[in-house]
Amino acid sequence: MKRILTYGTFDLLHYGHIRLLKRAKELGDYLIVAVSTDEFNSIKQKKSYHNYETRKKMLEAIRYVDLVIPEDSWDQKINDVETYHVDTVVMGSDWTGNENFEKLKDYCDVVYLERTEGISTSQIKRELGLQKPINGVDQIPEPKNK
């Protein structure tokens, strides 16, 4: 059984994430996703819309995903590869050559898959003009064509 591992925040799940997970699964038989905890997100200077539990549940509902584990530090990766007997770590091409993944080549294969153009969580947030709820009520942005 070929075991694949990938890492990410996976906030506001979109087809770029799904395409990455689909192609990662196609490289093996069992896909583990290490999803960033809210605390690790702040280390990455990322504020996700959905909290860790929600992002974990959404990933667990995806047919390509077999196991979801927490990612709470940069330096857990070697331990993850050994603990889960990982054959291949897969990341999107925006991570190509990043030392956090290059160092894993002593322990497993590392594959960077082409990032899906034209979609990202930050683009979705920007285009939706997501505003903070006021008194707990979400503010629906005015339609742009008004």
Write down the catalytic residue from 2, 22, 25, 44. 44
Backbone angles phi, psi at 110, to 5 degrees: -130, 125
State yes or no: is 44 an active-site residue.
yes
Output the smallest distance, CB 107 to ligand C2G, in A.
15
Q: How far is the CB of 109 from ligand C2G (least distance, A)?
A: 15
Nearer to ligand C2G, 70 or 139 (CB): 70
* Chain residues in the site for ligand C2G (CB under 6 A): 7-10, 16-17, 20, 36, 71, 91-92, 94-95, 115-116, 119-120
Our CB check for ligand C2G shows the closer of 7 and 52 to be 7
How far is 120 from 13, CA to CA, in rounded Å? Answer: 9
* 144 counts as catalytic: no
Using CA atoms, how far apart are residues 6 and 8, in angstroms rounded to an integer? 7
Task: Name the nearest CA neighbour of 55 among 80, 36, 74, 39.
Answer: 36
- Which positions are annotated as active-site residues? 44, 46
